Chain A
């Protein structure tokens, strides 16, 4: 199984700052890497597909990059509503696997 390692586990943020979250795969997943946001007590929602492709309805401050084994989710100007857990997921092989998540909290 492909193991996805997300770092950091928790990130303390100040509104307005630019942040980057990391997701590292145990083997190459090409660009079959997707990002989800899960707000407290809500279902996850798709943020970014295929490493860097935007999703309709998602604010433009969210962007993704990377390929192979190293991926980054960036938020350009964090807002309070972004305080959530962020998960990466690989779709290159079965079983589909998720990272353990990065929790964004207020500094």
Chain B
């Protein structure tokens, strides 16, 4: 059974940093692209970043480019999202997803990030 378990969320002040983790199990992690998708409170879904199976290529939405870094450790079957220079508009539930070509076939339970002073 595919499982994606996020951790690392919490309350952080604007301008500070936070690192999310996603522990994957139930599939061969190194064979799949992975992605982060977020959802602001009472809002819709928004793709944040994707990473290829090897970690050799990464892709970001413009609003997080230069502030967020997606990475992975295939030996640990873990996906990361380093978030720097956080802004209030980054407040959201962040979902770890398995990306299959161009859609998201499995989702974690989500982790809440609140950016507020």
Contact = CB atoms under 8 A, between A and B. Distances in A.
A binds B: yes
Contacts of B14: none
A46 B103 CA distance: 8
A87 B45 contact: yes
B104 interface: yes
- Chain B contact patch, size range: 20 to 34
Given A43-B108, A43-B110, A44-B95, A98 B103 contact: no
Interface string A85-100: 0010101101111111
Interface residues of A, number: 22
Contacts of B45: 36, 38, 44, 87, 89, 98, 101
A54 to B, nearest CB: 13
A45 B95 CA distance: 12
Tell me if A's interface is mostly helix, strand, loop or mixed.
loop
B47 A97 contact: yes
B20 to A, nearest CB: 15
B105 A46 contact: yes
B117 interface: no
Q: Which 10 A-B pairs have the closest CB atoms?
A: A91-B102, A96-B47, A34-B103, A43-B107, A98-B45, A95-B61, A100-B44, A46-B105, A101-B44, A91-B103
